[in-house]
Amino acid sequence: MKNLLAVFAIMSIAFSSHAFPATFPSLSGKDLNGSAWSAPAAFPGERTLVLIGFDEPQQVLIDSWIQGMKLASSQSPIAWVEMPLIENPGMFMRWFIDTGMRGGIRDKETRARVWTAYTDRKAFLESCEITTTDTITVLVVKRDGTILASEIGSFTEAGAKRLLKALEVKSRADKNR
């Protein structure tokens, strides 16, 4: 009987830990212009596309989504931010990293969209249910932190369509019908 109760207790814990959807944790920092941000509460839209990179060479993959979804267009209806996710290295290294990124991005509007997250990487990944840092993750996140959709890797039309659906944004093809 004791063994049966122990198994039941373990199963209850296992099932209850997956009962809640993935959640974007509360974070704060400064964009590359030095303006304070708070996520997810101050994301630019009620539903925001968050492009998360884990390593500098992954910028190519992030750029594939920015270009593929035409996010940089002034006519884009999509609220979005780019979020490099870095294990908190301390104040000096934060300054060094931010200065390096700022030097590579001259446009103030683009810098305002780069929200570098210096945080406990493992806890962040677990909260968002991100299983790999070998490639980028693209999320649709509500301001309450609920993650509505997720894609990994390079831009694809199918992935963009799934994200647009979660963003509740009609594609150009749908608008022309």
| CA dihedral for 104, 62, 70, 126, sign (positive or negative) | negative
Asked whether the beta carbons of 105 and 123 are under 8 A apart, the reply is no
The confidence score (pLDDT) of residue 13 equals 39
Q: 133 to each of 40, 54, 139, how far by Cα in Å?
A: 21, 6, 14
Q: What is the DSSP letter of 146?
A: B
Q: 93 to each of 20, 59, 70, 100, how far by Cα in Å?
A: 35, 20, 33, 10
The confidence score (pLDDT) of residue 175 equals 46
| pTM of the shown model | 0.81
Where exactly are the structural domains of the chain? 22-175
**Counting Cβ atoms within 10 Å, is residue 153 exposed (0-12), middle (13-18) or buried (19+)?**
middle
The confidence score (pLDDT) of residue 60 equals 97
Q: What is the DSSP letter of 57?
A: G
The one-letter code for the residue type at 91 is M
Block mean pLDDT (10 aa), the chain, length 177: 44 40 92 94 96 95 97 93 86 75 80 91 96 97 96 97 90 45
94, two tokens: 């934060």
Specify whether domain 22-175 bears CATH 3.40.30.10: yes
Asked whether the beta carbons of 102 and 94 are under 8 A apart, the reply is no
Place of tokens 């708070």: 38
